[in-house]
A and B are shown apart, each in its own frame.
Chain A
């Protein structure tokens, strides 16, 4: 038979297997035998050294020399794991600039964090369908893509920074800021912004006439008097609050102006400045200071509300710091006579 054919039919088994067996036969000492030989040689040396010296040497073969590895207790294992974690924990790459959605509400960005990138990431540049546009927004529109208008994010950033200055200015002078966002899902960011800025919030329907007819609608609402450190000093003023007119907000931030036309109209009639998120289908003249942005995406609304809340917080902090140094940044309420010796006081509504 030709060897080539043998190769084809029987393959490796026919040709190479006998050779391997033959190689193994040449080797007189197997691995096990050599290991056994080694142990037999080293054990007497170990015994001799141990008998001569009081410092025992480490055995070369742990299994034959009956020294058992002691079992760790549960507590010891736990501590070993903790030590391991401490050693290896800081190794590797550190992840940064991660987007965690909950942080937009829990720990909102501050005005210095506003960037075109963050606004694009928050979908602030996505306007409405081109058929729905309001021509008043033409100066904010960057172009058309996928059938929708794209809002210029750099203009959004500029208008948002301006709005931040307004909010912080109002809170620095002890004004009342009302944050209104009545769409589903906006409740938490509205409340958080009001909390940061020390203002008021509205996440349900605006009762029409609360400003224009406040004397009737809010007659039963309580008001309080606070001093420059925001301490409640109502008890000092007796019944002076009974005959006062109801409070009006000094600034209204509206996150969805389309649904709150009545609120904005009342503010306009009463000279209350307003800030609003203006999408491309929205008349920008409804609000005093428009922020052209996407008002449908919750992420965008949360970003803007958070930034404005942080701005209000900085203004409030500045006012309290000034009060600590004896500087009062606001005018005292009119027609409110202080029975004590206090120089300034401020009135606030309580909801």
Chain B
């Protein structure tokens, strides 16, 4: 490619790690700065998704402050942490300093998510609540019909399943941005679009002719494409332009040509009652298409249908639970809500269990201190064990997670507090029973080697067959004592 035309030095620079650093993404929440968001805006808050790559360095270089950048970084701020990762805002500034900060927040979030093993599913269509009764099963973002990485696959993909488009998302543009887009991007593509329209008109004319031939009883395959005349084309364009609705053919052609995300469809007369009719809109028509792949690199699992195998207890119905912080109890200063808010793996999520008057739910709440109301006496804040259920990334790049409360048994298994029956390991008992069978059998005298192998002190004694009978009998007594103690 172009690398062949470049000088060797330029090639080296192109393949260097510094040049591999991607440009930072725009800060999230930049476009949606309304009066509501500006209230909760903070410069130092952890962003909903990372915008800069996190850098790490080997220990030998870390202790020297060498991060492979313009200058060495101060040791005090980079080494006094258990996760020495940084993100660099500016390699060099007017003040002759490099602006960097710790990237621990996002690095640790990613680590927690890798521990939680939650697959990322496709975001639900607008108008549906993720926590409500979901009609259709959740699908992984890595399903082959959705990835759309090859060109054929992309063509075949239905509009609603795509997440990446060449064109911009028009509803998210300001007036000025839209004007600039029209003048700078679209205007120069006018001849190309004329060609595209002409091809479309020719195809349409051919299809019409073939349909007529079929009606007349001729073979449609014999009909050849004839070039469209200028007059015909003008008439056709005029008919296209007459239709000014958003569902017109021309609008679909423009969308196809510019590869724009589908615009939100207006509600039909049937769906007027429900304004957010899920069937009439595609996945990303009301919200912008996502900035990254819908998995955002958080998890590459396709499913959560795998069984966790406990080393002692065997396969378990649920994976080990994770501890969540109760960020907002039901009764908070702002009022009483039906759901508490949890912080799980760096993400705020709603309690999976709604408050109700049912006996068991009240009992479960009572068992968890700090859940129904704020309890300042709990050291380190109130926490609760949960099972992460599903997760998806919305078009703003935020993680949406839903959780279930953990069952008491899975919590006690995770903590290693097993119940009385299971506390004693099973293996020695089995071994004892087998030993009992062996020893009581008439062939027992032949097992002196085998028995001796299992008990170190019985090993030296046996040499001749006369002695061995006596030894084995004493050994049986010993074993009997042991077993009676064991019982």
The chain A residues found within 8 Å of chain B, CB to CB, are 32-33, 35-36, 39-40, 61, 63-64, 66, 68, 100-102, 116-117, 120, 123, 125-129, 131-132, 142, 145-148, 150, 152-154, 185, 281, 294, 296-299
A–B Cβ pairs within 8 angstroms, 18 of them: A39-B449, A63-B449, A63-B453, A63-B459, A66-B462, A102-B60, A120-B12, A120-B16, A123-B68, A129-B93, A131-B94, A132-B92, A142-B10, A145-B18, A146-B21, A147-B91, A185-B72, A298-B65
Q: Which of A68, A125, A131 is most buried by chain B, counting CB atoms within 10 A of its CB?
A: A125
Find B90's partner among A147, A294, A297 (CB 8 Å cutoff).
A147
Supposing A40-B446, A123-B69, A153-B12 touch, asked if A148 and B462 sit within 8 A by C-beta, the answer is: no
A150 to B92, CA, bound (A): 12
Contact call A64/B449, Cβ cutoff below 8 A: yes
Contact call A101/B9, Cβ cutoff below 8 A: no
A101 to B61, CA, bound (A): 7
Residue B438 at the chain A interface, CB threshold 8 Å? yes
Find B9's partner among A61, A63, A129, A154 (CB 8 Å cutoff).
A154
Chain A residue nearest to B7 in the complex (CB): A154
10 more CB-based (< 8 A) A-B contacts, given A154-B8, A296-B72: A39-B449, A63-B452, A64-B449, A117-B12, A123-B68, A146-B18, A153-B12, A185-B72, A296-B70, A299-B66
Find A153's partner among B9, B71, B460 (CB 8 Å cutoff).
B9
Residue B463 at the chain A interface, CB threshold 8 Å? yes
A interface footprint on B1-38 (CB within 8 Å = 1, 0 otherwise): 00000011110110010110101000000000000000
A102 to B64, CA, bound (A): 10
Chain B residue nearest to A298 in the complex (CB): B72
**Distance in Å from the Cβ of A13 to the closest Cβ of chain B?**
14
Residue B339 at the chain A interface, CB threshold 8 Å? no
A154 to B90, CA, bound (A): 25
A154 to B6, CA, bound (A): 14
Supposing A40-B446, A126-B91 touch, asked if A298 and B96 sit within 8 A by C-beta, the answer is: no
Contact call B71/A297, Cβ cutoff below 8 A: yes
Chain B residue nearest to A258 in the complex (CB): B96
B449 neighbours in A (Cβ, 8 Å): 39, 61, 63-64
B184 neighbours in A (Cβ, 8 Å): none
A128 to B90, CA, bound (A): 11
**Distance in Å from the Cβ of B81 to the closest Cβ of chain A?**
20
Residue B244 at the chain A interface, CB threshold 8 Å? no
Residue B125 at the chain A interface, CB threshold 8 Å? no
B65 neighbours in A (Cβ, 8 Å): 298
Contact call A125/B13, Cβ cutoff below 8 A: yes
Residue B450 at the chain A interface, CB threshold 8 Å? yes
Contact call A150/B13, Cβ cutoff below 8 A: yes
A90 to B18, CA, bound (A): 36
A297 to B61, CA, bound (A): 12
Contact call B70/A294, Cβ cutoff below 8 A: yes
Residue B325 at the chain A interface, CB threshold 8 Å? no
Chain B residue nearest to A100 in the complex (CB): B60
A63 to B7, CA, bound (A): 74
B438 neighbours in A (Cβ, 8 Å): 32
A147 neighbours in B (Cβ, 8 Å): 90-92
